[in-house]
Amino acid sequence: MRILVVEDFKSLQESIAQVLREQGYAVDTAGDGRLALWHLQGGGIDVVILDLMLPGMSGWEVLKAMARMKSRPAVLVLTARDTVEDRVKGLDAGADDYLTKPFALEELLARVRVLTRRRYNVAGPRLHVGPLTIDANARRVFRGSAEIELSAREYAILEYLALRRGHIVSREDIRQHVYCDGAALESNVIDVYVGMLRKKIGDNTDLLQTRRGQGYILAPGQ
């Protein structure tokens, strides 16, 4: 999953980005509203962590601009303004959740996980696809009772395919949601990762299918 952190206080921005990357997320950062909108226009972002008090273009203005987008990511607002009136204003402006400063990074991670599940209409933290169980909280994958060891990138691709289970997902879609903006990729890198995933999940039932010229689909074998 890809997260955009919009925070002008550099040390806080870097702390949030680091802990998210340690959890396996692809992370882009912005220190002002205009740069945030530039990232958003590229697509592929699942959750925006948005400070409201930004230089130049405020977080309120970013929310207003996002409201005009055809498809927008979930938004977690970060702010030191903690009155009920401020929280209501933020939610009414289009935020999906609200976290006041100072906050615990563990709580921020939990809220990001909830927003990601909500964005893809997933009820709980465990995803079940055929014989696979994907624990999104622990970032662990099981086939039956046996755990499958995956790299961070392999897990990220599998989780995204599982969230989109039953739908064809293009290589470009995977690139946008799993890699940071501007990441330079070899032309076949996603194919290579999918190939390694197939071997690791023991796929002999067409669980992870390739649709020529379209992309991939994760679904129980027919």
What is the structure's pLDDT at 184?
63
Q: Are 183 and 92 in contact (CB under 8 A)?
A: no
For residue 62, what are the contacts with CB-CB under 8 A and spacing of at least 6? 6, 33, 36, 37, 50, 54
Residue 222 has what pLDDT? 44
Distance (Å, whole) CA 217 – CA 220 = 10
Tell me the fold of 2-119.
Answer: Rossmann fold (3.40.50)
Model confidence, pTM: 0.87
CATH number belonging to domain 126-218? 1.10.10.10
User: What average pLDDT does the structure give for the chain?
Assistant: 89
What average pLDDT does range 181-189 have in this prediction?
73
pLDDT digits (tens, 9 = 90+) for 9-47: 999 999 999 999 998 899 999 999 999 999 999 889 999
pLDDT at 73 over 90: yes
Domain parsing of the chain, residue ranges: 2-119, 126-218
Of 63-77, 165-179, 195-209, where does mean pLDDT reach its minimum? Answer: 195-209
pLDDT at site 85: 79
